[in-house]
Homo-oligomer: A and B are copies of this chain.
């Protein structure tokens, strides 16, 4: 379902090759550690064809028919990691009246949209927020081993799509309970990481356990506290997790955690399975 694709990422923001990640990368058996932004972890988190099959829905649910499954057949896993990057060509019919769509630039706009030929309604698509928690407990952080695709068997912070009607913190707390069976208290905002290529924005909060209990939910096969030196950087699930955990470690080295904004852009020509082959652009902290 996830097609490998080599592609060019364009970004208008200034490129910032995150040096702190390199050190960590070197620590964790990166294949190309001499190159600051190319290494070895294999999973497919960043690269998907812009106009390929409809994306998977990251971190969500278990077995159901989902938008990741355009043919409608049941899938053994519908937890997903990717969504549309704005491919209006995938929108063939109007959700409101069922009319066929045409794909044109609406009057007064600049982008091609799917417009209903019957009722005229425009189907807009926008990036989605993935909200999660970086849980600190006795100088360790809580990670979940994914029991679902994509990145089955790889480690991640508990995170998932923010739902309608909830706040980012509520969503992050909910996802943490669902994936790690942990009740947490959010401490502070930690990171906002855009991944324009796949239309996702990661919003990560620092949090602490309300009680020292956690257990894997249906989407996780294992949950474990890792000392910072033991974080399995060679088997993390997504680039966003590599970035988040490295930012956190580096913050702790020089003081307390800050708030970070950044844009994760895949390095052109690299494999989709190389989740450390990215640049963190436009990085700002406060």
Contacts and interface: CB of A to CB of B under 8 A. Distances in A.
Interface of A: 11-13, 54, 57, 60-67, 69-74, 78, 84-86, 90-98, 100, 106-109, 111, 114-116, 118-129, 161-170, 186-189, 192, 194, 196-197, 199, 201, 203, 218, 257-259, 261, 263, 281-282, 284, 286
A119 B72 contact: yes
Contacts of A166: 196
A200 to B, nearest CB: 10
Instruction: State the number of copies, please.
Output: 2
A259 B119 CA distance: 43
B194 A13 contact: no
Grouping DSSP codes into helix (H, G, I), strand (E, B) and loop, the A interface class, with mixed when no group exceeds half, is loop
A103 to B, nearest CB: 12
6 contacts: A54-B121, A62-B107, A93-B94, A95-B95, A169-B261, A169-B282
B65 A189 contact: no
Contact of A168 (B71, B86, B192, B258): B192
A261 B189 contact: yes
Contact of A167 (B13, B96, B128): B13
A116 B72 contact: yes
Contacts of A71: 119-120
A168 B188 contact: no
Q: Which 3 A-B pairs have the closest CB atoms?
A: A86-B164, A72-B120, A72-B119
Given A65-B115, A65-B120, A188-B286, A96 B93 contact: yes
